Amino acid sequence: MAIAEEDIERVRASVSIVDVVQQYVALRKTGRNWVGLCPFHAEKSGSFNVREETARYKCFGCQAGGDVFKFVQEIEHVDFVTAVEKLAGRAGITLTYTSGGESQDRQRRKKLVGAMEAAVEWYHERLLSSPDAREARDYLRQRGLSGDVARRFKLGYAPKDWDLLSTHLKSLKIPDDVLVDVGLSFINSRQRPTDAFRDRIMFPIFTDTGEPVAFGGRILPGSSDPAKYKNSSETKIYFKSKTLYGMNWAKNDVVKADQVIVCEGYTDVIGFHRSGVTRAVATCGTALTEDHVRILKRFASRVVLAFDADAAGQGAAEKFYEWEKKYQVQVSVARFPDGKDPGDLANSDPAALAAAIDEAMPFLGFRVNRVVGGKPLRSPEDRARVAEQAMRVINEHPDVNVRKLYAGEVATRVGIPVADLSRLAEKRNERPEVRVSSTREMGVAENAEFVAITLLLQAWDDIAPWLIEELFDSEVSRRAFLALAAASQVESKNLVDTALELADPEVRELLERAAVADVEVEPMSVAFDLIGVAVRRVLSRRTGVTDADAIRADREARVRLEELEDSRLAPAASEALLMWIAERGTRAGGGGDSRD
């Protein structure tokens, strides 16, 4: 159920974000911030900032940021409600739960997960004890997946009959619409629930917190069904691009080793675990996506691909390199002997699995080795051809230094002068690189606008009366101001969180930075400076004005602009100038006048 909003705010007000973060991160006081090494990515110099006044954290390295609830969610790998409950327990606060719309969603989710839990147990018991599952048990035994493995991974068997699971779940008072919504049943032409999976070995798929949300079903040998695997469709509780099979079993070892192994299938994951390498997971019938990488980064910074990475790299290499840079992860590739997959090696040579992970090659190095390794180099033409193919792969990488180093290795291997291939790597045909940084250098005007946004978050009452939308020339700063203005109208809500809910991604990033920015300035002086900048901007753009009243108003604005320098006259001058700016729509900055 949903937690009452007032209780959430009571918890937020009762816990110190610095105290919470310090349980996981060593922090030192720097100005008004606390700074330490980010727990969400590997770094040597502290870029992780925590601000007690705004109860926010922000890493300027990996861009992680949020409030105390978000921090607990990310560091503990739990959902929002669990994070609130953990902090409430710490603060000695008893929570109350509402029955509103959010609660209904949570109740529905609970019913769907409950149906999946019942199905997991029924399929599992069927595999272990039912006579009609003998063929399934024999097959699993031949694959090395005996009873203890079946119990550990809750493997199951879906019988051939068309409605046995549906009938069983209905006997538990689980309604048909729940069975359909969760993908366990469908309604046939006779309007009766029919089992979605039949005559298959069932692999239950769990969230990283251990909730069953889906199934993968494998046919038995000799089946006439052309689909070897049948996977659950996406539902309200199951999203393929955000789910990794086995993470519930692997996450502790993944975090401990700071390494996660990504496989192609369920039996590969089980093979790794059987061999003592318990940090393997798998995508659920999809290619590796950015959402997957974002989830993996929560647990580890080193990702080992345990599938055909060369095939994955065809047409997708740029994405891998982009993800490496964006999420600060290191992607490498495991090579298995004789083309065997992890499931096979778990039976024939389990030690080879661990060795393959220990000897994993960087993603680009693996792809280059596939091009160069084993190719005939009998003639100059052979060497030139292999070098050309290798450089095509190398030049997909965005880092010139990485390209030059690999070019040197290839040149040595194929017998071509290093300087020649290094030059090709350096002059790679590429689009101009777009550099985006949350800590980019800003112009004077944009800096003033950022400081104003920061003060709105940290000292609203002191600066808000002196600001209007037209003062913000930067589009992002303007949208941030509007989000904060709208958030200030929402009663009994945290200003920062409400603004973040209203903000688009670009504005959200600016607000996260502002929430932890350390500024020591007088709010009114910032407002007066911003007004002065805006007035000068408008005056510089107002050329060709001929209306006498407009000319007179502009002349008066110049006089008021000088008065901003006098602390006694500045408040009255600012009020007059704000009115003058608003009437002329300074952000657009046209040369005319609304009344001209």
Residue 367's nearest CA partner among 345, 340, 346, 395 is 395
Highest mean pLDDT among 66-70, 74-78, 444-448: 66-70
Q: How far is CA 363 from CA 30, 269, 349, 368, 409, in A?
A: 39, 20, 24, 9, 15
In tens, the pLDDT along 333-355 reads: 998 877 678 888 888 888 989 99
Return the pLDDT at 510. Answer: 85
Is residue 429 very low, low, confident or very high in pLDDT (cuts 50, 70, 90)?
Answer: low
Confidence of residue 375 (pLDDT cuts 50, 70, 90): confident
Measure Cα distances from 15 to 12, 50, 82, 89, 91 in Å. 6, 14, 15, 11, 7
pLDDT digits (tens, 9 = 90+) for 20-31: 998 888 888 887
Tokens of 460: 């609203």
Segment 269-297 mean pLDDT: 90
pLDDT band at 444 (very low <50, low <70, confident <90, very high): very low
CA dihedral of residues 443, 447, 448, 449 (deg, nearest 10): 100
Percentage with pLDDT > 90 across the chain: 31
Dig out the tokens for 419 from the structure: 């300087």
User: Could you count the other beta carbons within 10 Å of the beta carbon of residue 182?
Assistant: 27
Q: What would the two tokens of residue 307 be?
A: 């599938």
Task: Give the mean pLDDT of 557-564.
Answer: 86
Nearest to 529 by CA among 407, 456, 446, 593: 446
Instruction: State the pLDDT confidence band at 590, using cuts at 50, 70 and 90.
Output: very low
Per-residue pLDDT, 440: 35
Confidence category of residue 309, pLDDT binned at 50, 70, 90 = low
Q: Worst-scoring range by mean pLDDT, 413-417, 492-496, 530-534?
A: 492-496
CA distance 539 to 590: 10
In the chain, % of residues over pLDDT 70 = 91
pLDDT-derived band at 310 (thresholds 50, 70, 90) equals low
What pLDDT was estimated at residue 491?
Answer: 61
Mean pLDDT of the chain, nearest integer: 84
User: What pLDDT shows up at residue 32?
Assistant: 76
- Give me the pLDDT at residue 436, please: 26
The pLDDT of residue 183: 94
Residue 315 — pLDDT band, cuts 50, 70, 90?
A: low
**Residue 274 · residue 345 · CB < 8 Å:** no
Has residue 262 got a pLDDT over 80? Answer: yes
Q: What does the radius of gyration of the chain's CA atoms come to, in whole angstroms? A: 31
pLDDT attached to residue 129: 95
End-to-end CA separation in angstroms for the chain: 59
pLDDT at 561 over 90: no
> Is 420's pLDDT higher than 60?
yes
**Most trustworthy range by pLDDT among 154-158, 188-192, 308-312, 349-353:** 154-158
Average pLDDT on 200-209 reads: 93
Q: Is the pLDDT of residue 401 over 50?
A: yes
The pLDDT, as a whole number, for residue 431 is 35
Q: Is the pLDDT of residue 569 over 70?
A: yes
Q: In sequence order, which residues have a C-beta less than 8 Å from that of residue 513 and are 6 or more positions away?
A: 58, 60, 65, 438, 439, 450
The domain limits of the chain are 2-98, 102-238, 242-362, 373-426, 444-584
Nearest residue to 259 (alpha-carbon basis) of 290, 224, 286, 297: 297
If we measure between CA atoms, which residue out of 358, 400, 514, 388 comes closest to residue 447? 514
Specify the range with the lowest mean pLDDT, choosing from 490-504, 562-576, 581-595: 581-595
Segment 327-332 shows an average pLDDT of 88
What confidence category does residue 416 fall into, taking pLDDT thresholds of 50, 70 and 90? confident
Pick the more confident residue, 539 or 261: 261
**Domain spanning 102-238, CATH architecture:** Alpha-Beta Complex (3.90)
CATH topology of domain 242-362: Dna Topoisomerase Vi A Subunit; Chain: A, domain 2 (3.40.1360)
Note the pLDDT tens digit of each residue in 93-108: 888 877 654 456 667 8
**CB contact at 8 A, 14 and 5:** no
Burial group, residue 166, by CB count within 10 angstroms (0-12, 13-18, 19+): buried
Superfamily of domain covering 2-98: Zinc finger, CHC2-typedomain (3.90.580.10)
